[in-house]
């Protein structure tokens, strides 16, 4: 869970940083576009200014220009020798740079919406007196020696650049004590900003839309990635729980299988009636014990046991009583046999004992103990009292024995002798 939260925080942080980067990129792009648009306005205004300045200079360098008088054109009242007559008596009006600038300005303002104005802090012509903006621009240019002064308004872009005194200017301004190089005023160029404002509004609108799209896209990405991470971890958690449940079930089934195998093993190795080893188990263990005794040259003895007159007991009292007697004898003998030895029911009323590290004499002592215990015991209930005896045959491992059956065969022959002789007897095979 801790790793999940850390991964979510890391992802959200990365998306947030990427979103800030995109927003900054959009903002920088908008500002760059605005600067380019302002630069275009500046280039237009400076170009118009330079055109006017070049026109004025050409006129000034040629001592002004004379044009024929016609409607709408009057001589400059603030200019000496402002007109001439031809030999034919036609009136020629002198267009000095200032008067020419005003005529061009009025024409451009009517046709192109461009506005030109020559202005000065000390104008000869009151019409050229500066307004508040022009006063601010001229003072700023005079005090700071800047090359131009600009301002962007809602409807127009204003550009003011200084006019410096040249030799040709002194003809009209000879009373102002100007020197060549002095700033005597400036030319204002005004350009309509309708298209500029429209473009800025469009870019602002699109920028705001991009901001909104970026923001909501980031939110959607955060939600999707967070949901995905949560789903993955939830699925992994469910898988872990399922694995634990499955592991628990497997362990339970394993235990059940072990119990079943154990029970199956018991069924396959234990006699169901007496809870002693059965014949198969006796021989499986006995053969291994035989080979071990042969290799280690240890003693090993076999006792074969048979219940005397067991058929008569079944015939007289029934198989149920016979089974109870089998269990009684098995219980008595199992208490006397060592855990390292094997006591098994190998037939209907037959038992066999394998004694490790035991010679025939020690086996005889055990056999007599078992015989006496059984002889002194009886099966009793409310109706009957059945006396029981057993016969036993003993044989021990010999050097020339090749298998376990050889020992069992001799012990069985000794048992046969005991039963044939008088029963309730132990016999060691010596033949």
d(C-alpha 305, C-alpha 346), whole Å: 10
Q: Which is nearest to 184 in space by CA: 125, 132, 104, 255?
A: 125
Exposure on the CB side of residue 59, measured as CA atoms within 13 A: 19
Q: Which residue has the tokens 């473009």?
A: 199
Q: Which residue has the tokens 């200014």?
A: 49
Active site residue 349: yes
Token pair for 311: 């058929």
Which of 387-401 are b and which e, b meaning 16 or more Cβ less than 10 Å from the residue's Cβ?
Answer: ebebbbbbbbbeeeb
Q: Are 290 and 397 in contact (CB under 8 A)?
A: yes
Token pair for 356: 């490790």
Catalytic residue from among 171, 349, 360, 402: 349
Ranges assigned E (strand) in 96-204? 115-119, 149-152, 156-164, 183-192
Q: Which residue has the tokens 């300005």?
A: 105
Residue 116: count of CB within 10 angstroms of its CB: 21
Report, as residue numbers or ranges, the catalytic residues.
Answer: 349
């Amino acid at each position: 869970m801790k790793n999940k939260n850390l991964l979510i925080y890391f992802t959200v942080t990365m998306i947030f940083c990427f979103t800030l980067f995109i927003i900054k990129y959009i903002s920088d792009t908008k500002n760059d576009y605005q600067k380019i648009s302002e630069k275009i306005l500046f280039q237009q205004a400076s170009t118009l200014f330079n055109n006017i300045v070049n026109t004025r200079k050409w006129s000034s360098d040629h001592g002004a220009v004379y044009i024929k008088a016609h409607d709408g054109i009057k001589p400059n009242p603030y200019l000496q020798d402002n007109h001439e007559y031809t030999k034919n008596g036609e009136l020629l009006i002198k267009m000095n740079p200032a008067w020419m600038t005003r005529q061009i300005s009025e024409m451009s303002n009517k046709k192109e919406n461009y506005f030109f104005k020559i202005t000065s802090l000390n104008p000869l012509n009151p019409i050229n007196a500066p307004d508040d903006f022009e006063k601010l621009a001229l003072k700023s240019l005079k005090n700071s020696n800047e090359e131009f002064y600009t301002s962007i308004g809602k409807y127009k872009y204003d550009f003011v650049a200084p006019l410096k005194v040249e030799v040709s200017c002194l003809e009209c301004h000879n009373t102002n004590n100007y020197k060549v190089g002095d700033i005597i005023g400036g030319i204002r160029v005004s350009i309509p900003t309708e298209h500029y404002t429209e473009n800025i509004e469009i870019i602002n609108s699109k920028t705001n839309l991009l901001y909104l799209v970026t923001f909501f896209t980031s939110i959607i990405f955060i939600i999707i990635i967070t949901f995905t991470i949560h789903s993955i971890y939830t699925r992994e958690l469910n898988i872990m729980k399922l694995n634990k449940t499955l592991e628990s079930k497997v362990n339970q089934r394993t235990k059940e299988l072990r119990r079943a195998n154990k029970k199956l093993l018991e069924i396959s190795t234990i006699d169901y009636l007496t809870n002693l080893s059965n014949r198969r188990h006796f021989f499986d263990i006995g053969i291994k014990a035989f080979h071990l005794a042969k290799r280690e040259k240890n003693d090993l003895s076999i006792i074969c046991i048979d219940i005397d007159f067991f058929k008569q007991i079944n015939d007289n009292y029934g198989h149920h009583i016979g089974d109870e007697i089998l269990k009684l004898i098995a219980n008595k003998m199992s208490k006397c046999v060592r855990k390292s030895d094997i006591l098994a029911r190998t037939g209907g009323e037959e038992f066999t004992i394998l004694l490790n590290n035991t010679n025939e004499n020690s086996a005889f002592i055990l056999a007599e103990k078992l015989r006496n215990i059984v002889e002194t015991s009886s099966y009793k209930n409310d109706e009957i009292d059945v006396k029981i005896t057993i016969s036993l045959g003993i044989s021990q491992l010999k050097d020339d024995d090749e298998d376990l059956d050889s020992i069992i065969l001799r012990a069985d022959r000794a048992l046969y002798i005991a039963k044939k002789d008088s029963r309730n007897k132990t016999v060691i095979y010596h033949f």
